[in-house]
Amino acid sequence: MTMRSGALARAAGVSTDTLRFYERRGLVPRPPRDANGYRRYPQDALPRVVMIQRALDAGFTIADLQRILRVRDAGGVPCRDVLTIATARLRELDDRIAALVDVRTRVGALVSSWRKTLDATPAGTRARLLEALATDNPRRPSIRRRKPPLRRPCD
């Protein structure tokens, strides 16, 4: 039993463009085509696409999955690599969470300070809250910290 691209995409919760992307990247084997050119995916394509989506949600990259699936599809056992990658992603998440908690603490202190400034500022007078950021302690790290987002394919 086989599925066409649209049916597989709907069942997996992705777009047909995402399926083609996965195919181009070697994450999903190229399916045979009907005489009219439509792709016909085997039934085992659905759990594979769902697994890819969940792995991406867990922080694996396309490159990670390409390596892992290439080994697995060749009969290898990439389980230790999977654990190594997941452990690294967990550490990255912990670092990002710690950075966000730090930003949250600093923004909380900033809001508290601004609230006191506004309370002491007469109505209709500028409190120059944003300008205070430029004159604040120059050795203090910026509130804004940019971290790259977790990567996901189009879906």
Average the pLDDT over each of 57-66, 84-93, 133-142 and give the range with the smallest value. Answer: 133-142
As beta bridge partners, residue 4 has 40
Quick one: pLDDT band at residue 133, thresholds 50, 70, 90? confident
**Between residues 134 and 77, the one the model is more confident about:** 77
Q: What pTM value is reported for the model? A: 0.72
As beta bridge partners, residue 2 has 42
Token couple for 62: 């396309």
Rounded mean pLDDT, 70-91: 96
- Kindly report the average pLDDT of the chain as a whole number: 89
- HSE at residue 94, side-chain half, CA atoms within 13 A, is 6
* Position 145 pLDDT exceeds 70: no
Cα(69)–Cα(28) distance, rounded to whole angstroms? 9
Structure confidence by residue, pLDDT tens digits, 50-69: 999 999 999 999 999 999 99
Structure confidence by residue, pLDDT tens digits, 98-108: 999 999 999 99
Rounded mean pLDDT, 139-145: 53
Structure confidence by residue, pLDDT tens digits, 2-46: 999 999 999 999 999 999 999 999 999 999 999 998 999 999 999
> Is residue 39 within 8 Å of 4, Cβ to Cβ?
yes
